[in-house]
Structure 1
Amino acid sequence: MKRITIYLTVIAAIITINSCKKLDVPVESQYVKSNFPVTQADYIALLGTMYSNLSSNYAVPYWRMQELSTDEAIIPARDGNYDDGGQYRQLHYHTWTFDHPNVIGIWQWGFGGINNCNRLINLVKASGSSTALKTSGIAEITAMRDLYYFFMMDLYGNVPIINTFPVNDPPSTQSRANVFKFIETDLLNVIQQLPSKTNNAATNTLQYGRPTKEMAFALLEKMYLNAEVYTGTQRYNDAVAMADSVMKNQNYSLDAKYRDIFLPNNGPQIKETVFAIPYDQQIPGNQFTRFGFFYYLASYYGMNVGLSIAMSTTHEFYNRFNLPGDTRTNTWLVGPQYVPDGNGGFTSQPAYYPGTTTQIVITPDLILVPPKPMDVGNTIASQSEGIRSLKYYPDPTIIQATRLNGNDVPVFRLADVMLMKAEAILRGATATTVNGQLQTPLYLVNQVRTRAGAAPAASVDLPSLLDERARELSWEGWRRNDLIRFGQFEVDYPLANDPLSMNKDVSRRLYPIPSTEIKLNPKLTQNPGY
């Protein structure tokens, strides 16, 4: 939601952050104690770099690491196009190395964000601002630092802990369990100083895209649900407690229409958003229309830009969208295509390939054409292979200069909170009552299903819960996290005519520490298997 939160990033013109090729990269600022901002509006501007850095990589390289390594998304080459040095097929086959561009780039992005948060904490502590502004400002920065740390812990596992600025001594690698404890303690120390979502639209607009109590609760719920993966000790009852802390705030509710959550004009009016990353159509924007839509349909959606034909999903993943009446199925493009009706549906008028009377047909299977690796060819027919996404609905005002969408990207939302609670109970936690309702796994899953227009389930178990998460949270950046927790990250989904197969070594559940970082800091220890 571009117009409402653009003020958060204007400070990027004042403060410049380098790409962080070192953990102690310096950050220059014009602020000193004598001229430090003192009003709430000043603070909002000052903290903008936390958010501009977050948006810069979340919806492209970070997302690719979480999704292209699973069955949920794939970028095949098309007669050599979109191969980009093999980086996408390496994610698909789990054959990445410590010099993979995303492995390096996201490490630098994450620790650049952490380093900047530490710098901002120092500035706020040294300022002459009121105690209340200092307290709330430090809480906001700390929660953002913990979000960055969660991303790094989830992807790389054993990472250094840095909570000072500048970094005087190279930090050593810490165990994943230690990083988990650091994040947990950090959040619990500041959570009461964070604001809550209210029933006041103006207040919610001001808080949108910034940490709230409920964002911290949702982040802790995600950590506790995965605690056995991260630390070796399960924390399912704690996950339920965090879910309840979110749901007790009745200012959150499931939106009536699933489609609304992902429209180009989404924003603080979405009732279930717990934390989202705002985007506009400038770089960095979100990639989903540019790379995941279908080029030959662009004009039918009112766009006059050159889009990609690259990214799709696998038919194995799409096959889970099998519930009658489920509106989430309409977030995919497959089979004969029709002119959209402007309301998220379709007319009976066929959509044709440009300059022809041949109806566009998107076929689900990606059929490789050896010998080029993971390559489907580049004919009209092969370009039409692969199920395309319509989830982040195309914006007809998309501009040629960037070809990027302005749809905000949710990180945490209420439906995920509910499904995580259902899973925690299925794994052994005790069901609890919230706002007068006993919330069993079946109740929670059926709340999500009913909103989507699907028939209620008669029962729910862990396999069906994983399928429900796939339907509800597709392309939201959680598939790798889910598959690892369910022990299914190594399940192969072979492509037709593919002589290669996935590397099933469980060491691939963690990405390697980049070779560039180990050269700079010999105290870092490489993850096993690399």
Structure 2
Amino acid sequence: MKIKGRLNIQALVLGLMMFSCSLDIDETDSLITEGNSDVFNGVENVNAAIDNLYNNLSAGNPSQMNTQEELYALSEVTTDELIVPTRGTDWGDNGVWRTLHTHTWAPTHNFINQVWNNKNGAVLRATEIIDPLSNASAEQIAQAKFMRAYNMWVIMDCFGQVPFRNATDGPDVIPEVMSRQQAYDFVVKDLEEAIAALPASQPQSPTKTRAVKATARLLLARVKLNGEVYKGSYGENDLQDVIDLVNEIEAEGYGLESNYFEIFKGPTFESKDVVWALSTDVGSKMWNSLHYNQQELIPNFDKASVNSGGGWNGFATLSEFYDKFEGPTDNNSLGAGQEERRGYTQTLESTNADNEGFGYGFQLGQMYGWREGKAVALTTRTNEPLIFTKEFPGLIGNNEVTGMRLLKYSPANGAYTSGTVIFRFADAHLMRAEAMYRKKDVGAALIEVNKLRAMRANTPPLASLDDATLLDERGRELYLEYIRRTDMIRFGVFKNARGFKQAGDGHTDLFPIPASALLSNPNLSPNPGY
């Protein structure tokens, strides 16, 4: 494979002076093409190329879904769900986490650049597979079109503008740039064509790492539900299309499941609620929040490899998000009567060798562990009780215990268990309810929402439905599933003030186009406000 890149040296020097940052050009840049000669002549091994598209999400280098950075950081740390406070000197990282929470990021922010480069690179590689010169089969093209649509949707959702090059464009051709409306139309077309040729859905298959018809239908429903954001207004049939698409997914055998936290136990997922999952490990989504003295120590055949080093004591959640769930205000212990999705912390009586003190959901209060054959109350590094608190003093100046910790995936399932859920039917079900709501059929929407709540223990039905209640319900069901930022923007509240974040003017609904991309592609323009 030959990889070529061209960059105007004068622009590079000027850019380095203006932005005081390095500008590395690699195979993910928008001015890179690849092929077996100077002119693209088709992908030699299409199956391997498709495998690479999926593998780069699961365990790529740089990593994507198996990290706390990249899209996870942009989707969750920018919202009311997660906060990464500085604890002494820990998690300072030159403000990279704090600027996400306060919406004060810059065009040189590393995680923003990662998403831009990784997703644009994937769009190009999918386009090469789709090109007639690659002689791909109809199903291979459908897989590539789904992956192109998914990655282009992320770019459209995060940045608005979407650069695009044809596979046969030479390295000297500057990519064209689609508007959000143009990208929306392109993604919709790719997904509609992919649905026709993707394999039939298998809702109870344990392996769901490749797209099937339901996977593309769910993404298409998501795109259309956000049509007002992407296009300025809904099309005549957009909301009904969402309802119809979810109906089709349900008709294929997908549906709601009870036992909420069981849904997320990998590495395989036979639950009919899981539509798309990746094999990537979930270690970074567990240990990034847990304390240094919380460890998974007991090796056995039911758990992944042992973590004797403990957590990283970074990520936490805000009390205002916790308070959206029903249950006692200051007690989330097992059996306290809280709604199921809020999870629980283990008690001294419930801690045993199997769970080692790890619970699910919001970790609040005294933490316990299993040490030398018995349950013990854990302590901090200074031998104070390890009691996670609801409140923070601020984004800086924190000690080891400020802030509740949030576990969608738990070390109770293994120290480094694998399997990350990307799409769930519960999301589709709530999208259908929201489409009904936006079509002014509030009664039908409320019935749909309460169908889901009826599947969750200690979760009584709602009496009414409005914008805030519907958004809160999505947060309660779908937290840490890569969708909170998109939801908050659709409901118009992403810019609002919340804990340690001031109200904004709305320009942060889009991330800035990376500085390096603006230098290399003059067809791009800075997003408003940057």
What TM-score results when the alignment is normalised by the length of structure 2? Answer: 0.80
Aligned AA for 2:209?
G
Question: 2:470 aligned with 1:465, yes or no?
Answer: yes
User: How far did residue 339 of structure 1 move?
Assistant: 4.7
Residues 460, 34 of structure 1: alpha-carbon distance in 2 compared, 3 angstrom cutoff: closer
Of the three residues 74, 80, 89, the one matched with 2:89 is 80
Partner of 1:375: 396
In the TM superposition, 1:50-449 aligns within 5 A as 50-55=53-58, 56-58=63-65, 59=67, 60-122=69-131, 125-127=133-135, 134-168=137-171, 169-198=173-202, 201=205, 205=207, 208-234=208-234, 235-250=238-253, 252-263=254-265, 265-280=266-281, 287-299=284-296, 303-323=307-327, 324-330=337-343, 331-339=361-369, 351-353=377-379, 359-368=385-394, 374-377=395-398, 382-394=399-411, 397-398=414-415, 405-428=416-439, 440-449=444-453
CA distance in 2, matches of 1:27, 1:406: 35
Please tell me the root mean square deviation across aligned C-alpha atoms, in Å.
3.1
Tell me if the contact between 1:115 and 1:162 (Cα under 8 Å) persists in the aligned partners: yes
Q: Give 1:337 deviation, angstroms.
A: 2.7
Q: Does 1:486 align with 2:491?
A: yes
Asked whether the 8 Å contact 1:157–1:510 carries over to 2, the reply is: yes
2:62 paired with 1:49: no
TM-fit CA distance, 1:291:
0.8
Partner of 2:455: 451
Q: Deviations over 1:200-239 (max 9, x none)?
A: 74xx63xx21111111111111111110011012132222
CA pair 505-167 structure 1, distance change in 2 beyond 3 A? farther
What letter is aligned with 1:376?
G
User: Aligned partners of 1:429 and 1:143: how far apart in 2?
Assistant: 31
Q: 1:396 to 1:522 in 2, by over 3 A?
A: same
Give the aligned residue type for 1:22. D
Bigger relative CO (Cα 8 Å, ≥ 6 apart): 1
- Can you give the 5+ residue segments of structure 2 that lack an aligned partner in the other structure? 5-24, 299-305, 328-336, 344-360
Q: Measure, in 2, the Cα distance between the counterparts of 1:386 and 1:50.
A: 37
Q: 1:351 offset after TM fit, Å? A: 2.6
Contact 2:204 2:270 in 1 (8 A): no
Report deviation, 1:494.
3.1
* 1:102 shift after superposition: 1.3
Aligned mates of 1:304, 1:413 — CA distance in 2: 33
Closer/same/farther in 2, CA of residues 163 and 314 from structure 1, 3 Å limit: farther
Identity over the aligned pairs, expressed in percent? 29
Counterpart contact for 2:454–2:461, Cα < 8 Å: yes
1:20–1:505 CA distance, 2 compared to 1 (3 A): farther
Looking at structure 2, the residues matched to 49 and 166 of structure 1 have their Cα atoms a distance apart, in angstroms, of 22
CA distance in 1, matches of 2:159, 2:42: 40
Letter in 2 for 1:421: R
Number of aligned positions between the proteins: 463
Contact 2:81 2:318 in 1 (8 A): yes
Higher helix proportion (structure 1 or 2)? 1
Classify 1:328/1:200 alpha carbon distance in 2 versus 1 (closer, same or farther; 3 Å): closer
Tell me the distance in 2 between the aligned counterparts of 1:527 and 1:230.
Answer: 14
CA contact (8 A) 2:161 2:179 kept: yes
Query: What CA deviation, in whole Å up to 9, does each residue of 1:152-199 have, x standing for no partner?
Result: 000001222334345552123221111101100121122110112236
Give the whole-Å Cα distance in 2 for the aligned partners of 1:395 and 1:407.
13
Deviation at 1:109, TM superposition (A): 0.6
8 Å CA contact retained: 1:77, 1:376: yes
Give the residue type in structure 1 aligned to 2:390. P
1:15–1:391 CA distance, 2 compared to 1 (3 A): farther
Deviates more, 1:82-91 or 1:386-395: 386-395
Structure 2: how far apart are the matches of 1:35 and 1:387?
Answer: 49
Deviations 1:238-282 (A, max 9, x none): 2212211211112x122331111222x3423122111122214xx
Moved more, 227-236 or 17-26: 17-26
Rounded to whole Å, the distance in 2 between the matches of 1:246 and 1:527 is 36
Distance 1:467 1:449 in 2: 12
| Gap change, CA 1:35 and 1:442, over 3 Å in 2 | closer
Aligned to 2:509: 509
CA distance in 1, matches of 2:118, 2:263: 27
SS in 1 for 2:418: coil
* 3-state DSSP of counterpart to 1:182: helix
Cα separation, 2, equivalents of 1:33 and 1:173: 24
What amino acid does structure 1 have at the position aligned with 2:27? C
Q: Distance in 1 between the 2:377 and 2:101 partners?
A: 31
- SS state at 2:275 partner: strand
Distance 1:254-1:244 versus aligned 2 partners, 3 A rule:
same
Deviation readout 1:415-474 (Å, 9 max, x if unpaired): 00011111111111669xxxxxxx922222122212221122233332211111111111
Conservation of the 8 A alpha-carbon contact between 2:274 and 2:421: yes
Local SS of the residue matching 2:390: coil
Alpha carbons 2:165, 2:176 under 8 Å: kept: no
Amino acid at match of 1:464: T
Task: Please state whether the residue corresponding to 2:280 is helix, strand or coil.
Answer: coil
1:130 matched residue in structure 2: none
The letter of the residue matching 1:23 is S
1:10-50 Cα shifts (integer Å, max 9, x gaps): xxxx99999535214244679x999956xxxxx65442110
TM-score by length of structure 1 reads 0.80
1:457 partner letter: L
Contact kept? 1:72, 1:317, Cα under 8 Å: yes
The equivalent residue for 2:17 is none
Paired AA for residue 264 in structure 2: F
Kept in 2, the 8 Å contact 1:152–1:159? The answer is yes
